[in-house]
Structure 1
Amino acid sequence: MGRGRGRAEAVPEATGAEGRSHRQGPLAVRVDSGTAELKPDRDRPRAWQLLLDGAPQSLVDLDDPTHLGFEYQRRIGHLIDLAAPPGRPITVLHLGGGALTLPRYVAATRPRSRQQVAEIDTALTELVRTELPLERGWQIKVRGADARAVLERAPEGGADLVVADVFSGARVPAHCATVEFAALAARALAPGGRLVVNVTDGSSLAFARAQTATLLAVFPEVCLVADPAVLRGRRFGNLILVAGTAPLPLEELGRKVASDAALGRVEHGRALADFTAGAAAVTDDSAVPSPAPPPGVFH
């Protein structure tokens, strides 16, 4: 999960010392938006999990930036893979940065890609740049500003992919979950480009249903990817929404989701319309944040 709120100021281009972190043990640091913890992964010698106020945000393997340890990030990774022919550079706008796991994945799988990241927590970005540095030569620029503010200034038609992984704490902020926000993303996309949105919800799935209706109000093509248990409201979890003006790669995406160790289902068309259950699109005047995770969900 990325971060959406905090103080706004520019951050220089995020480059580092060839990904060579020398940290051996866990670290906890106070950043703008809470307490950031870096915990070593038990299975990978140079992999680190980032938590913010106890909520898992990112997993980075400095030896293998193509490793996506969280299931929701693997699903976004599938969409990065399907954004263009293999290896071709793309232009990506990431709204929410965290430990920059997805920008690392793009840089490693699509060399020479141009990427901009909106991460408002500048202290978090500085921590990540110091402890989990990026490889030299990766074209990743991080801006310390609100995600929607960056989206408002994005060049028209400039992005092949807009990835909205914006969280304030463990909740999607209201101003990044509206028709107006989706319209800004549509404006930023190049012809054939796609918007990918990570949301969290559970139980009645009221927020996820409303977000689906919101994207359907702006884009002609929308699909959703999630664990069947999450879709049935049996557990709190991530849902990935994909939107575009051109037909989506549903068959290829379905194959990739089916090949993952975590169960997943792709909903589209009538099934997706049924999922919305009559929910209304959300505007700036009616927006609310996503629901807070239930107690103990991260333990």
Structure 2
Amino acid sequence: MTVLYEDETGDWGKLVVYETSHFDGEPGRYRVLAFSDGSAQGVMDVDSPERIVFEYPRAILHLMETYLPDYNEVFVIGLGIGTIPARLKDKRVKVAEIDPRVKEVSRRYFGYALSNVEVGDGRSLLERERNLLYDFVVLDAFTEKDTPLHLLSEPFFTLCKDKLNERGGLIMNLFGRGASDNLICAVHTTLRSVFTYTCCFELPQTGAADKRNILLMGARQPIRFREKEMAGFVAFKPEEGYIIQDRNENYRL
């Protein structure tokens, strides 16, 4: 492993970029953006940078293309290495990224060349947008601990619904243990309290208690997808949970 960048001075914890000859059991040359705990937030195949290494961005792009083929307006919360917005060059996309280091790292080490990233809290930036504008809001935001709760609450989902047009949808990438995970169940129950239609997908793991990527989608209209094109994700139904509210009015990070 070769470390290309390492910084511990930011407000959002340690950030590392490194290259490795193996990733997820596959040999090659990979460049990885990671937090201090080693969790990979983005991976690029250096020898084939157009290839999408992670499954979840492929599944999200399929959901977008299948649910609303003529979509154009997208608001993304969480840049990472820019995998999803980089594939939407022909769309009108705004990206909110809270960590200024991530914006710089995505450009310097992962070739993200678009000028559509604004540094700031995603919820605060979304509040400024015009109602009924967006076809999709995509939430892919993590701290070292997890997705911030103010981006999973009923008021936030209501805000997303206000900013989406009548055909639009909210898509989220989370991390959890599946149908019995307390947080995932609460997020789905909260999402269902705001949107008429919801779907949940998981990327199966060997152990039932192993954490895995979880995708959730909420919309005003029935959600269409083809499971064979969901990059290994399968639909599941979470157990009933509680509705997440903001902890206090000063929710901003």
Query: TM-score band, normalised by the shorter chain?
Result: 0.7 to 0.9
Which residue of structure 1 lines up, in the alignment, with residue 95 of structure 2?
Answer: 117
Q: Are the equivalent residues in 1 in contact too, given 2:79–2:102 (CA < 8 A)?
A: no
Which residue of structure 2 lines up, in the alignment, with residue 9 of structure 1?
Answer: none
C-alpha distance in 2 between matches for 1:222 and 1:131: 36
Which residue of structure 2 lines up, in the alignment, with residue 290 of structure 1?
Answer: none
Structure 1 residue 153 displacement after superposition: 1.4
> Residue 35 in 1 paired to residue 6 in 2?
no
Give TM-score, length-normalised by structure 2: 0.84
C-alpha distance in 2 between matches for 1:129 and 1:201: 29
> CA 1:70–1:89 in 2, change beyond 3 Å: closer, same or farther?
same
Give TM-score, length-normalised by structure 1: 0.72
SS at match of 2:87: helix
Q: 2:234 aligns with which of 253, 257, 265?
A: 265
Letter paired with 1:249? R
- Which segment drifts farther, 173-182 or 65-74? 65-74
Structure 1 residue 158 displacement after superposition: 1.4
**Structure 1 or 2: more strand by fraction:** 2
> Residue 283 in 1 paired to residue 235 in 2?
no
Letter paired with 2:111? P
Which residue of structure 2 lines up, in the alignment, with residue 4 of structure 1?
Answer: none
Q: Are the equivalent residues in 1 in contact too, given 2:135–2:165 (CA < 8 A)?
A: yes
> CA 1:89–1:133 in 2, change beyond 3 Å: closer, same or farther?
farther
Which residue of structure 2 lines up, in the alignment, with residue 127 of structure 1?
Answer: 105
Which residue of structure 2 lines up, in the alignment, with residue 52 of structure 1?
Answer: 35
Once the two structures are superposed, residues 182-232 of structure 1 have per-residue CA deviations (whole angstroms, 9 ceiling, x without a partner) of 0111111122111001111228400000000000000001000103448x8
Q: Are the equivalent residues in 1 in contact too, given 2:81–2:112 (CA < 8 A)?
A: no
C-alpha distance in 1 between matches for 2:186 and 2:139: 16
C-alpha distance in 1 between matches for 2:159 and 2:95: 16
Once the two structures are superposed, residues 64-116 of structure 1 have per-residue CA deviations (whole angstroms, 9 ceiling, x without a partner) of 5552211222221222332543xx56221111111111111222xxxx21111
Letter paired with 2:103? T
C-alpha distance in 2 between matches for 1:49 and 1:281: 35
Letter paired with 2:128? R
- Which segment drifts farther, 120-129 or 213-222? 120-129
Q: Are the equivalent residues in 2 in contact too, given 1:55–1:170 (CA < 8 A)?
A: no
Unaligned 5+ runs, structure 2: 22-26, 249-253
Structure 1 residue 245 displacement after superposition: 0.4
Q: 2:217 aligns with which of 212, 219, 242?
A: 242
C-alpha distance in 2 between matches for 1:165 and 1:91: 17
Q: 1:217 aligns with which of 193, 206, 230?
A: 193
SS at match of 1:217: helix
C-alpha distance in 2 between matches for 1:194 and 1:128: 26
Which residue of structure 1 lines up, in the alignment, with residue 74 of structure 2?
Answer: 92
C-alpha distance in 1 between matches for 2:173 and 2:6: 26
Which residue of structure 1 lines up, in the alignment, with residue 169 of structure 2?
Answer: 194
Which residue of structure 2 lines up, in the alignment, with residue 10 of structure 1?
Answer: none
Q: Are the equivalent residues in 1 in contact too, given 2:73–2:91 (CA < 8 A)?
A: yes
> CA 1:142–1:83 in 2, change beyond 3 Å: closer, same or farther?
farther
Q: Are the equivalent residues in 2 in contact too, given 1:84–1:90 (CA < 8 A)?
A: no
> CA 1:167–1:153 in 2, change beyond 3 Å: closer, same or farther?
same
RCO higher in structure (CA 8 A, sep ≥6): 1
Which residue of structure 2 lines up, in the alignment, with residue 75 of structure 1?
Answer: 59
C-alpha distance in 1 between matches for 2:122 and 2:41: 17
SS at match of 2:138: strand
SS at match of 1:199: strand
